[in-house]
Amino acid sequence: MSSALPVARPVLASGLAVTLLLTVAVVVDRFAGLAQGRQVLTAGARAVVQLAAVGLVIAAVFRSPKLAPLYLAVVLSAAAWTSGRRLGRDPALLGLAAAAISCGAAAAAAIVFATGALPLSARSGVPFVAQLVGGAMTATTLAGQRFTDDVAAGWPEVEAWLSIGATPAQAVSATGRRAAARALVPAIDQTRNVGLVVLPGAYVGLLLGGASPLEAGRVQLLVLVGLLAAETIAAVVVTRLLGPRLGARRPAG
């Protein structure tokens, strides 16, 4: 009984803190008239449920490492679904998003594990690759949406290129490069300002778990630079794959 109390206390304290934080957010939202209180509560409730479920799933993966590829496949599928829906209603965009995300995450992960910077195990591989997938998903969404919007806004320029014999991909290539570059700004800023503006989650988590500051910094550096590589590849791939599609037809409206 006594051994269970030290475990229960942080859980109860965390539950109280989360409840108070959500209450503060809702009260401030209502006071300022932002009309986002319901969204805040829904997001908080989903986070609690999803993190609890993920904790159980990852615990099972750690006990049975053979489940790791299946779990990562689910993570990739969810990321592709999320990003693909952001890019449009065509089901083909899901495959396009999956290609961009998987290329970015796989390339970065392959370098880290091939060099031995992290051991190739479920305990290190699952969280690291999941981080890469999440970053690649964000870059895919940002680059794809920006590319689509910029092509629509600058369609007369695209038509001008097409009229002089450019292929659809060539007609939108400059727009695609700009969209990919803009999508990388958050990752570049996060890496550039690490330790100055904010201590990233992996670093804080490792410190709280008892790792030395040097080891926490080493792992965080791998995460940040891995994300830079994964997101760069994902942004380039999604714009290259979208180019022929966007340049071949006039945007609706």
Q: Which two tokens stand for residue 48?
A: 């609690």
Give the residue among 124, 97, 107, 122 at the shortest CA–CA distance from 225: 107
pLDDT value of residue 7: 54
**What mean pLDDT comes out for the span 90-105?**
95
Q: What sign does the dihedral 163-164-170-174 (CA atoms) show?
A: negative
CB proximity list for 118: less than 8 A, separation 6 or greater = 112, 124, 125, 128, 219, 222
Both ends of the chain: CA-CA distance in Å? 67
Predicted confidence (pLDDT) at residue 117 exceeds the cutoff of 70? yes
Comparing 128-142, 185-199, 230-244, the range with the smallest average pLDDT is: 185-199
For residues 151, 152, 153, 158, the Cα torsion angle rounded to the nearest 10 degrees is 50
pTM above 0.85, yes or no: no
**What mean pLDDT comes out for the span 90-116?**
95
Per-domain residue ranges for the chain?
1-63, 65-247
- 14 band by pLDDT with thresholds 50, 70 and 90: confident
- 4 band by pLDDT with thresholds 50, 70 and 90: low
- For the chain, give the longest Cα–Cα distance: 80
Residue with tokens 């870059």: 139
- 167 band by pLDDT with thresholds 50, 70 and 90: very high
pLDDT by residue (tens digit) across 65-84?
999 999 999 999 999 999 99
Which amino acid belongs to residue 182?
R
pLDDT value of residue 1: 46
Predicted confidence (pLDDT) at residue 249 exceeds the cutoff of 60? yes
**What mean pLDDT comes out for the span 91-113?**
95
Q: Which two tokens stand for residue 145?
A: 């949406």
Predicted confidence (pLDDT) at residue 253 exceeds the cutoff of 90? no
